């Protein structure tokens, strides 16, 4: 073992001649450990929030979406064309447009999503369904759909009822806009502008407050009929094959049909959410990294007191043949070991906190969509924290030791 490292280890663990030195060294270790644990816990919390938001905003989408390059709709024949691609496991059409929904009272303007019957099986929608387990194309002699919890509340749809609830879903005739329909009553002539259809409510869904308050889901055929878009879809949702990444499939589809369709991944669709969350995460990481500078001053105090206490030892080490560089190395190792011990303790504490939160939900969220604060541990964050703690601590230790040795032990300089 390196002699300088061995002496530094002895200085760290052996009982000091001054209790104050022992106390300051311990405080330095605790500060480094606290910062390291805080970094692990906070980065994991940001990861958990990012994954939760991704899940909530992507429950209705697959990994890849194919959209029209121009206009608002695609020919439904693209579904069969995409299914011939080796990287596509499943493809289904989606037709989306604002509609007027009535159940007894005033009309409510919301967004109709017409889905292929297999859509819920290939997205995160299925676990979000409050009643019913799949999107059925036909039940009780008519089309069956789902309404968001917010829409259900506004339309006063009973949560549990013996008789099925029916909705009248209407869309403006082709060439007309729905923007002026809000607040109109049937007697005001709204019905003459619309094409209507009857939709049975076979369940509810809950994704997030915004989507729940303004979306209903129906089979694709029903949406095409009401919206007068026979054989057309707004986009084609694509589920990549198991050995294909979303990015690889996106590039392949763009290469195969370069001037016919536009392809977006789920991450691109939610790019603003991801970029905002990532910016907040790394800003917090930078702030915590600066706190390490405070810990470095504690280490400076510990090394200063240790040098004062070990002046006689320095002279002895010089007398037995150690070079000034070796002497500086002893105290550099001392500072590095303080950081290493603090980092190891902080890492253990941080990992324990994340595990306890994940398993037992120590920090609860009242009235939220999830019962406890979400966390997600990523190995790259752990490695980054270790590198920053040891890198900042090691650099400061080396610089401070060189300065202190010159000032306090000139014979070893």
- Boundary (domain end) residue, out of 215, 232, 266: 266
For the chain, the average pLDDT equals 80
- Count of structural domains within the chain: 2
Distance of alpha carbon 195 from the chain centroid: 41
The answer on pLDDT for 234 being more than 80 is yes
Domain match, 260 and 327 both: no
Average pLDDT over residues 3-28: 65
Locate all alpha helices (DSSP H) within 2-144, ordered by sequence.
3-13, 19-57, 77-83, 119-122
Asked if residue 227 and residue 135 are part of one domain, the reply reads: yes
Residue 268 or 141, more confident? 268
| 167, pLDDT greater than 80 | yes
DSSP sequence for 266-325? HHHHTHHHHHHHHHHHHHHHHHHHHHHHHHHHHHHHHHHHHHHHTHHHHHHHHHTT--HH
Question: 299 and 176 share a domain?
Answer: no
Percent of the chain residues topping a pLDDT of 70: 79
- Sign of the torsion angle spanned by Cα atoms 312, 318, 321, 326: positive
Pick from 197, 188, 194: nearest CA to 174: 194
- Co-location of 282 and 401 in the same domain: yes
Structural domain range at position 159: 64-266
Q: Which class for 44: exposed (0-12), middle (13-18), buried (19 or more C-beta within 10 A)?
A: buried
Write the DSSP string, 358-372. HHH-SSB-TTSSSSB
Q: Please write the tens of the pLDDT for every residue from 361-407.
A: 888 877 666 788 889 999 998 998 888 888 877 777 777 766 666 66
Q: Is the pLDDT reported for residue 342 higher than 80?
A: yes
The rounded Cα 404 to chain-centroid distance in angstroms is 45
Summarised one tens digit per residue, pLDDT across range 303-335 is 777 777 766 776 776 777 777 777 777 777 777
Based on the domain organization, do 255 and 289 belong to the same domain? no
Q: How confident is the model at residue 181 (pLDDT cuts 50, 70, 90)?
A: very low
Q: How far is CA 343 from CA 22, 269, 332, 392, 400, in A?
A: 18, 38, 16, 11, 19
* Residue 41 shares a structural domain with residue 130: no
Which tens digits make up the pLDDT trace of 183-209? 444 444 556 677 889 998 888 888 888
Tens digits of residue pLDDT in 32-76: 888 889 889 999 998 888 888 777 767 788 889 999 988 889 999
User: Is the domain of 175 the same as that of 205?
Assistant: yes
Residues 366 and 328 in one domain: yes
pLDDT of 347 strictly over 90: yes
Tell me the whole-structure pTM to 2 decimals: 0.68
For helices 271-309 and 324-360, the axis angle rounded to 10 degrees is: 140
**What's the confidence (pLDDT) of residue 202?**
84
Which of 210, 233, 266 is the last residue in one of the domains?
266
* 170 and 248 fall within a common domain: yes
Tokens linked to 150: 């917010």
The b-or-e profile of 108-118 (16+ CB within 10 A means b, else e) is bebbbbbbbee
Lookup result for tokens 């076979």:
202
Same domain? For 110 and 218 the reply is yes
- If asked whether residues 129 and 257 sit together in one domain, one would say yes
Confidence at 413, pLDDT banded by 50, 70, 90: low
Final residue of a domain: which of 266, 297, 331? 266
The answer to whether residues 199 and 345 belong to one domain is no
Amino acid 11: pLDDT: 61
Inter-residue contact 112 to 195 (CB < 8 Å):
no
């Amino acid at each position: 073992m390196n002699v300088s490292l061995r002496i530094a280890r002895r200085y760290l663990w052996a009982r000091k001649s001054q209790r104050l030195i022992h106390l300051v060294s311990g405080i330095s270790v605790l500060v480094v450990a606290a910062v390291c644990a805080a970094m692990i816990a906070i980065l994991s919390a940001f990861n958990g929030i990012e994954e939760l938001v991704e899940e909530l905003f992507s429950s209705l989408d697959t990994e890849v979406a194919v959209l029209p390059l121009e206009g608002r709709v695609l020919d439904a024949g693209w579904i069969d064309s995409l299914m011939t691609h080796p990287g596509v496991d499943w493809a289904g059409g989606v037709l989306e447009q604002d509609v007027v929904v009535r159940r007894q009272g005033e009309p409510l303007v919301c967004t109709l999503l017409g889905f292929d019957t297999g859509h819920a099986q290939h997205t995160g929608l299925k676990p979000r369904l409050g009643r019913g387990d799949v999107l059925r194309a036909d039940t009780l002699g008519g089309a069956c759909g789902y309404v968001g919890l917010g829409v259900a509340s506004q339309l006063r749809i009973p949560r549990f009822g013996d008789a099925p609830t029916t909705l009248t879903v209407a869309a403006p005739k082709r060439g007309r806009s729905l923007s002026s329909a809000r607040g109109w009553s049937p007697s005001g002539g709204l019905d003459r502008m619309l094409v209507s259809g009857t939709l049975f409510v076979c369940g509810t869904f809950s994704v997030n407050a915004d989507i729940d308050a303004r979306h209903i889901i129906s089979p694709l055929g029903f949406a095409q009929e009401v919206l007068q878009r026979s054989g057309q879809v707004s986009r084609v949702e694509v589920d990549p094959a198991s050995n294909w990444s979303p990015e690889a499939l996106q590039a392949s589809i763009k290469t195969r049909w370069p001037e016919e369709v536009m392809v977006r991944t789920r991450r691109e669709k939610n790019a603003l959410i991801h970029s905002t969350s990532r910016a907040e995460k790394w800003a917090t990481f930078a702030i915590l990294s600066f706190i390490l500078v405070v810990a470095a001053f504690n280490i400076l105090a510990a090394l200063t007191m240790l040098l004062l206490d070990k002046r006689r030892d320095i002279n002895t080490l010089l007398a037995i043949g150690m070079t000034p560089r070796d002497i500086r190395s002893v105290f550099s190792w001392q500072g590095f070991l303080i950081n290493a011990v603090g980092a190891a303790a902080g890492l253990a504490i941080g990992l324990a906190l994340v595990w306890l939160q994940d398993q037992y939900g120590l920090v609860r969220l009242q009235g939220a969509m999830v019962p406890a604060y979400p966390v997600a541990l990523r190995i790259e964050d752990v490695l980054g924290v270790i590198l920053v703690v040891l890198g900042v601590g090691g650099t400061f230790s080396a610089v401070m030791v060189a300065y202190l040795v010159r000032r306090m032990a000139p014979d070893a300089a």
